[in-house]
Structure 1
Amino acid sequence: MTTPRTAFFAAPVLTGAYGVIRILDGLDGSRGPGFAWSLGHLCFLGALVLFVQGFAAMRAMAGGGKLSAVGLWTGVAGAVALAGQFAIDLVVGFMSADRGAMEELFTRVQDIPGMLPVIYEFGPLLFFVGQLILVSQLAARRVLKPWAPVLVLVNAVLPLVGKDLIPVGAVLLLVAFAPLCRTRETVEADSKVLVA
């Protein structure tokens, strides 16, 4: 099993891998379906699993109070929404012969009542809100640098500016999380999370 210390490194790396694969997949003018589409989405789904593990460790490092619980469960809810979105993308990719067929299937899925706000619009935002709450708490406790929440916030905004900036955001997360890969607090959180 991956430890939280490893998760703080691997989650941004997998996110960056998704972003790079996405860029390469679009060089011919269209994205998916195909191997690159599936590989990129699997990378991001793996990153989400590791982020959730990291969120649990952050909550332990933040002292396990009410605000950290809000951060954890808000982040987990957002991760579930994002996982749903990326799972849909994978299934649509497998079921489609070309980009046109994908667009048709996406339209049918997104026409399902509640799908857009829960899976595509509001739901995923919870992931970034929860992450920012937890990182801010760790910065306040001086486990993370005071500018770590700023990097996390910029990472959340970059895809709204342009999805090709996802790898840049992943690098920012690596910088923000770097202290968590080696601190005593993370070692202690490892044991708390692994026995929970």
Structure 2
Amino acid sequence: MTKGIVFTTAPLLVTVYAGFRVLDGLDDERGPGPAWTTGHLAFLAALILFVPVFLELRRLAGHGLFATATAVVGLVGAVCSMAQISVDIVIGALAADHEAMRRMFADVQSVPGVTPVVYTVGPVLLYLGLLIMFCQLALTRAVPVWRAVAVVLAVLVSLLGLDALPAVGLLLCTGLAPFPRRSTSPATAHS
């Protein structure tokens, strides 16, 4: 998959997940069912695609220690989010109804360490990595400022909760797709 496709597809899949989430909630309950599963599979695919996105952002930022640390933070967040979405998919597949899902989620979240790693702190690292990386790229002029503003807005809007995901997805699309092609990193381009 080319870089351009990855940078376009990852945020589009976030938007697809948001759309299925809205559809799934039309009956005032989310999951289990086809909308739950399809949406979560789309989000899982988006998270997988954020791996090459972060690697390319690191390259654009010049491979330095700060860029590497920021990429690692984002990748850890992506992995934690993948764990969360995977749990959601499995519970959605196993549960007969919403009440069964609620009990299964309570069981999973009662395991020590799961809630902060998989549900609260861990997934936030994905957004933190994107925010820091795009600010760095804008400061070094590796990307236009408007792209960084769109990503920063996406991160800020994500703080409003899962109901804000349609806006988050569209803002990420604005910031990431189509991503500029650059053959050299900023560090080598200015030497």
TM over 0.5: yes
Q: 1:113 is matched with which residue?
A: 112
Instruction: Report if aligned partners of 1:143, 1:179 keep a CA contact under 8 Å in 2.
Output: no
Deviations 1:107-145 (A, max 9, x none): 000000000111111111111111112211221222322
Deviations 1:133-176 (A, max 9, x none): 22112212223222433322321232332422211111111111
1:184 to 181, 186, 190: 181
Runs of 4+ in 1 over 4 A off after TM superposition: none
Instruction: Report if aligned partners of 2:77, 2:122 keep a CA contact under 8 Å in 1.
Output: yes
User: Does structure 1 residue 70 correspond to structure 2 residue 69?
Assistant: yes
Instruction: Report if aligned partners of 1:139, 1:146 keep a CA contact under 8 Å in 2.
Output: yes
Question: TM-score if structure 2 supplies the norm length?
Answer: 0.91
Identity over aligned residues, as a percent?
Answer: 41
Quick one: distance in 2 between partners of 1:134 and 1:171?
A: 19
Moved more, 134-143 or 8-17: 134-143
Structure 1 residue 179: deviation in Å?
5.5
Unpaired runs of at least 5, structure 2: 186-191
Q: For residue 27 of structure 1, give the secondary structure of its aligned residue in structure 2.
A: helix
RMSD between aligned residues:
1.5
Q: 1:10 is matched with which residue?
A: 9
Quick one: distance in 2 between partners of 1:33 and 1:41?
A: 11
Deviations 1:39-86 (A, max 9, x none): 100000100111111110011111100111011100010001000000
Residues 1:145 and 1:24: Cα distance change in structure 2 (over 3 Å): same
**What does 1:88-103 correspond to in 2, within 5 Å?**
88-103=87-102
Residues 1:174 and 1:60: Cα distance change in structure 2 (over 3 Å): same
Task: For 1:149, give the aligned amino acid.
Answer: A
Q: For residue 26 of structure 1, give the secondary structure of its aligned residue in structure 2.
A: helix
Q: 1:193 is matched with which residue?
A: none
Instruction: Report if aligned partners of 1:15, 1:47 keep a CA contact under 8 Å in 2.
Output: yes
Q: For residue 184 of structure 1, give the secondary structure of its aligned residue in structure 2.
A: coil
Unpaired runs of at least 5, structure 1: 190-196
Quick one: distance in 2 between partners of 1:7 and 1:179?
A: 9
Quick one: distance in 1 between partners of 2:85 and 2:113?
A: 17
Question: TM-score if structure 1 supplies the norm length?
Answer: 0.89
Q: 2:189 is matched with which residue?
A: none
Q: 1:59 is matched with which residue?
A: 58
Q: 2:171 is matched with which residue?
A: 172
User: Does structure 1 residue 156 correspond to structure 2 residue 150?
Assistant: no
* Count of residues in correspondence between the two structures: 185
Structure 1 residue 184: deviation in Å?
3.4
